[in-house]
Amino acid sequence: MTTDGRGTDDGGTARRAQPPQVFMALPEHAEDRREAFSRCLADVARLLRLDVPARPEPGPVPGGERAWEHRVRTALRAACRRGLSLSEESFDVLLRAAVHDPDPSFDRQFVEPALNAFGYRRVRAALLRYLRTGTDPERAGAARAWYWTALPLRMPLVRAEEPRTADREEPEDGRALVAKWHQAALREFVENEHLDVRRSILPELPLRTSAYPPELHDLVHAAVAIARSHPDAYIRHRVEHQVGDGHSAG
């Protein structure tokens, strides 16, 4: 490939390289979830014994609760770097915080310690339960948190207090759980009209029939049609990138 962005096709004819894809950022939740998230953070700070002050009362000091949330996030990062031993109770607390985090960029801070201590299968199974049985905000939060379960572990100093609770699944088990997630997410995207749910599910949703059993192929076509005609600009933008990347229902 030449530095001016051109290459050659198989016959030697000059062609212009495809420009890199630019995605719209995943929007923040349409609903205000700050109060629920702050309660989850208070549980994280208490259970993990983070060195932060008590949660302030909402309202009296403008920005006071946001500043406190930032301190909890900072303290959690520092504790993970030093090394943490996580109890069984901390698993649910961390996952609740991840699911209720209103910022789609920061929920990784809660997913990764759980992944390191308890393993991919357990974390993914918990997120799948949220997707299937949670409230709509929890379903959306679970879909956003699921993204981080595809990345390598980065916190070697975080461990479970009981090593037997950590996940050591075979690769086949992991693939089966991912397939279950995709099938549940496909149904949810088609059947659930909640805006945050659809926005959150779409980025990690395969839009090709080969990713699903034959009985779900019609749902794949329905998902593409729904996304392409959706009034939300993010959903319309995202589906065209995914279909254009070869992830189409074709």
Residue 134 has a pLDDT of 97
pLDDT tens-digit readout, 165-196: 555 554 556 789 999 999 999 999 999 999 99
Residue 46 sits in the same domain as residue 157: yes
Residues 176 and 155 in one domain: no
Tens digit of each residue's pLDDT (9 = 90 or more) over 226-249:
999 999 999 999 999 998 654 445
User: Same domain, yes or no, for 84 and 184?
Assistant: no
Q: Dig out the tokens for 220 from the structure.
A: 């794949």
pLDDT single digits (tens) 196-231: 999 999 999 999 999 999 999 999 999 999 999 999
* pLDDT band (50, 70, 90) for residue 153: confident
> Do 185 and 146 fall into the same domain?
no
Residues 43 and 151 in one domain: yes
Total domains in the chain come to 2
pLDDT at 68 over 60: yes
- pTM, to two decimals: 0.84
Q: What is the pLDDT of residue 85?
A: 93
